[in-house]
Structure 1
Amino acid sequence: MPTIVLGRLLPANPDLNIEVIVDYGLTDIVAEGFDAGIRMGEQVAKDMIAVRVGPDLRMAVVGSPAYFQRHPKPKSPHDLTRHNCITIRLPTHGGIFAWEFEKKGQELKVRVEGQLVFNNIALRLGAALEGLGLAYMPEDLVRTNVQAGTLVHVLQDWCPSFPGYHLYYPSRRQSSPAFTLLRDALRYRD
């Protein structure tokens, strides 16, 4: 997930107030009266203006070395149906999230099962580190654990990158100077 640094805006602009609401739902920002929202690029409605605020992302299937001492590493996404997978329930997907894969143009969604279901990324990471199953996590969030050897990344060739986070807002919206300042500060630069 991108790190949003608001310190560049607030000390220099004491009249600028920012309210941040974190929600896994696909909130209608117009109906709710918000100026803007942040979503994955593929989730932004076509009638919105989208500004990239983070790099492309990639998912990773990870498990602990202890888990892999008891279970063979999956060689394809279909093998996941024989594993204890740590799943996530997201309101944006209408239930348990199906893990998404792609290789050589072949897209595949796998409905995995397991003993644990969370709606929180930190709990999934903790369960994977404890050896309780395999987790499907943003690669940047598990990179340090993989490098340290506390997690093992599998199925790497099935996990392509996808559009990262975008700030989005209605196209009919007249931008205030404060909103323009926020948008420009959050804009992703390679």
Structure 2
Amino acid sequence: MTRLIVFNKPYDVLSQFTDVKSPTPRATLSDFMQVPGVYPAGRLDRDSEGLLLLTDDGRLQARIADPRFLQEKTYLVQVEGEPDDAALAALRAGVRLNDGMTLPARARRIAAPDLWPRDPPVRFRKTVPDCWIELTIREGRNRQVRRMTAAAGHPTLRLVRWSVGAWSLDGLAPGEWREVVV
């Protein structure tokens, strides 16, 4: 039977089980779960939060993580400034990054989501407004969402991956996980 774990990765946690190369200890997946034989299907940067899928099935791992399968990933993104229609249209059309054009994305402004507090909190600046967008992409380039919002003129302040395909964070607090039937 295939195992699939839905995990809400907290901020400042590495998307791996060990961190032997670091001279200072950093939090890893093993601080939250001891499930033998499962591996992350894709990555989520240390400074990003949210959904990380882990499985023991190599084919499922490839279907989730390999860009050629165009698996949709939805992010809740707090950005600096207030993106206007032109900035959102740029994200929807695809933006040019240093490694080429992105595929078109779905992008819309949303009300601030009811999320857990982040530790440490996102910096607050009285003179610079911020807002939230929901961004759905079908690629998985390195730091892609952060680079896309910056290219559209609105750097990312907080990034939470909410869903990958049909799987979502619904009901999971940071550091919690559940096994789902595949």
Asked if Structure 1 and Structure 2 have the same fold, meaning a TM-score greater than 0.5 normalized by the shorter chain, the answer is no
Query: Which has the bigger relative contact order, CA under 8 A and spacing at least 6?
Result: 1
- Rg larger in 1 or in 2? 1
Give the number of the structure whose residues are more often helix, by fraction: 1
Task: Give the TM-score normalised by structure 1.
Answer: 0.28
